[in-house]
Amino acid sequence: MLIYNVTINIENDIHDKWIKWMNQVHIPEVLSTGKFLEAKMAKVLVEEEMGGTTYSVQFLAKDKVSLEKYYREDAVILRKKTATLFGNSLVSFRTELEIISEHKRQPIKATEFLFSYGSLQDTSIHYALLGRSIEGEADALKGYVIAQEKIAGEFVVAEPSIDPEDKIEGQLYVLSHIDIAKIDSYEGPAYKRTKLLLDSGKNAWTYVRNVEDKDGE
């Protein structure tokens, strides 16, 4: 793969006209030649001593043959159109870049089940902790009840029940290990994250009362 990069400095008095023409006319016209796969346009974030604004337009070519064919069949005509419209109001230079390798961040897989019966079901909490909303499905935790005494007098907490038929209704989420770590920080030491069996048959992390934490009482 090759990148055909065109760097252009455009004078401010025709800037808006040029931007519109590039996006609506010129770039589509270059792509219509069939010599390039895609194009990107970026503003160069630098204050130019010569004035004006600088942009980089990058066209992705499959190979050198495609690029050479563009030079022979299309480049001269398209450059003349640019010169006719904008004359000396812009300065440009061109660079060929050969792509040696490409690397992408691997997506973080959601592989952990988490059962929530309290504030973690709130969408606003999702955004605050994870930066997004998460969808769950209804499930239940048998053999547990919501304790009468709340954490810090405000937050509900699950604890084992003397009646094995008692259950707590809630939501089951599928999250990544990074998500779980963020939620650990939110829950704090008054809660203990434990894997428990749900009505669905899934083993899910659940935050229950941490009986070893005295400050949470």
Using the predicted structure, report yes or no on whether residue 106 has a pLDDT greater than 80. Answer: no
Q: What is the mean pLDDT of residues 177-201?
A: 94
User: Could you tell me if residue 190 is inside a domain?
Assistant: yes
Residues 96-116, mean pLDDT to the nearest whole number: 90
Q: What is the arithmetic mean of pLDDT over 68-73?
A: 96
Mean pLDDT of the region 95-104:
92
Nearest to 140 by CA among 167, 109, 103, 114: 167
Q: 90 and 126: one domain?
A: no
Q: What is the mean pLDDT of the chain?
A: 92
86 is a domain residue: yes
* Three-state secondary-structure class, residue 131: coil
**Does one domain contain both 137 and 76?**
no
Tokens found for residue 97: 């870049």
pLDDT at 217 over 80: no
Question: The domain that contains 92 carries what CATH number?
Answer: 3.30.70.100
**Is residue 91 in a domain?**
yes
| 184 phi and psi angles, rounded to 5 deg | -55, -45
Please check whether residues 123 and 167 belong to one and the same domain.
yes
Based on the fold, state whether residues 144 and 70 are members of the same structural domain: no
Verify that 93 and 61 share a domain, yes or no.
Answer: yes
Instruction: List, as own/partner pairs, every contact residues 61-65 make where C-beta atoms lie below 8 angstroms and the sequence separation is at least 24, other chains included.
Output: 61/1, 61/2, 61/3, 61/4, 61/35, 61/36, 61/37, 62/1, 62/2, 62/37, 63/1, 63/2, 64/2
In a domain, 106, yes or no: no
User: pTM for the full model?
Assistant: 0.56
The pLDDT assigned to 50 comes to 77
- The number of folded domains in the chain is 2
Check whether residue 20 and residue 62 sit in a common domain.
yes
Count of other CB atoms within 10 angstroms of residue 48: 11
User: Which of 98, 127, 155 marks a domain boundary?
Assistant: 98
Q: Are residues 122 and 203 in the same domain?
A: yes
Q: Has residue 74 got a pLDDT over 90?
A: yes
Domain end, chosen from 98, 130, 151, is at 98
Unique residue bearing structure tokens 């083993």: 203
In a domain, 41, yes or no: yes
**117 and 146 belong to one structural domain:** yes
Q: Are residues 49 and 124 in the same domain?
A: no
What CATH number is attached to the domain comprising 171?
3.10.490.10
Instruction: Of 52, 28, 190, give the one whose Cα is nearest residue 41.
Output: 28
CB 190 within 8 A of CB 209: yes
pLDDT tens figures, 110-149: 999 999 999 899 999 999 999 998 999 999 999 999 999 9
* 143 and 121 in a common domain: yes
As a whole number, mean pLDDT of residues 72-96 equals: 94
Say whether both 191 and 116 belong to one domain.
yes
User: What does the pLDDT average to over 166-190?
Assistant: 94
Q: Residues 75, 120: one domain?
A: no
The range of the structural domain enclosing residue 51 comes to: 2-98
Q: Is residue 214 part of a domain?
A: no
Residue 94 domain-assigned (yes or no):
yes
**Residues facing residue 10 across a β-bridge:** 53, 90
- Look at residue 62 and tell me if it is in a domain: yes
What does the alpha-carbon distance between residue 161 and residue 36 come to, in Å, rounded to a whole number?
67
